[in-house]
């Protein structure tokens, strides 16, 4: 009788696995350490084997973004046209401002620092900046328009479009100077666009993979 009184009755949690412990016990598949060690985790940090998650479902080999239907992964000439025109205008304005400052200081070197000299230097800075911005912006606009037209006409995007657009831009920009000026502008545009295409394909010509 005493021995029966001293023994405590078994708890319900020990019978058949019922109790509070079973509420937090996972019912998912159990994986051994050897099975988890062979799962490839490309681009991920190691996952704890105590998590109740199959690591094979967490491997992300596909892209993490979704493109619209018919969209390309790279921007075309029409999308790059706005960046090209804007960057050329800003570059021309900066170069023109520096050139105007140089010209203003050179032309007014015999004058003392006074208000007339400051006004003259400021006028040259703004005038040269606007001139160069207009020039480079016009060239970028013509180049972008010709590039988009040639791309749509040929149905392909390659370096031939770049070279042809550069040559046509030079011809049209220098056409007010006559036939000789148009030919000279076309040759200059062809040379510059050819150098640009060569620069873009330099890694391919050397046989090294291009880094993005």
CA distance 188 to 192: 6
CB of 53 within 8 A of CB of 47?
yes
For residue 22 the two structure tokens come to 């079973």
CA distance 55 to 37: 10
Convert the pLDDT of each residue in 172-185 to its tens digit.
999 988 899 999 99
Phi-psi map region of 28: left, alpha, beta (phi>0 left; psi -120 to 50 alpha): beta
CB of 159 within 8 A of CB of 181?
no
Residue with tokens 């009788």: 1
For residue 39 the two structure tokens come to 């799962």
Convert the pLDDT of each residue in 83-114 to its tens digit.
889 999 999 999 999 999 999 988 888 887 78
Task: Please list, residue by residue across 77-95, b when 16 or more beta carbons sit within 10 angstroms of its beta carbon and e when fewer do.
Answer: beeebeebbeebbeebbeb
CA distance 112 to 116: 9
CA distance 170 to 212: 31
Tens of pLDDT, residue by residue, the chain (212 residues):
444 444 545 444 444 445 544 444 555 555 555 555 555 555 555 555 566 666 666 665 555 556 556 555 556 777 788 888 999 999 999 999 999 999 998 888 888 778 888 899 999 999 999 999 999 999 999 999 999 999 888 888 888 889 999 999 999 999 988 899 999 999 999 999 999 888 888 776 676 554 43
- Burial (0-12, 13-18, 19+ Cβ within 10 Å), 191: middle
CB of 130 within 8 A of CB of 95?
no
What residues contact residue 32 under an 8 Å CB cut-off, 6+ apart?
A: none
Q: What is the pTM of this model?
A: 0.59
CB of 31 within 8 A of CB of 49?
yes
DSSP structural state of residue 208: P
């Amino acid at each position: 009788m005493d021995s029966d009184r001293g023994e405590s009755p078994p708890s319900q949690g020990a019978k058949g696995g019922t109790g509070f412990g079973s509420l937090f016990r996972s019912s998912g598949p159990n994986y051994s350490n050897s099975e988890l060690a062979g799962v490839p985790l490309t681009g991920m940090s190691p996952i704890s084997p105590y998590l109740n998650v199959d690591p094979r479902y967490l491997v992300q080999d596909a892209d993490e973004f979704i493109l619209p239907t018919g969209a390309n992964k790279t921007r075309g000439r029409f999308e790059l046209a706005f960046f090209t025109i804007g960057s050329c205008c800003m570059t021309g304005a900066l170069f023109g401002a520096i050139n105007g400052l140089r010209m203003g200081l050179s032309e007014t070197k015999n004058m003392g620092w006074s208000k007339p000299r400051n006004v003259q230097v400021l006028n040259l800075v703004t005038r040269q900046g606007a001139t160069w911005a207009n020039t480079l912006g016009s060239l970028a606009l013509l180049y972008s328009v010709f590039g988009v037209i040639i791309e749509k006409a040929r149905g392909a995007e390659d370096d031939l479009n770049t070279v042809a657009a550069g040559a046509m831009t030079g011809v049209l920009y220098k056409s007010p100077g006559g036939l000789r000026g148009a030919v000279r502008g076309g040759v200059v545009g062809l040379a510059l666009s050819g150098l640009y295409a060569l620069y873009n394909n330099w890694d391919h010509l050397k046989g090294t993979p291009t880094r993005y």
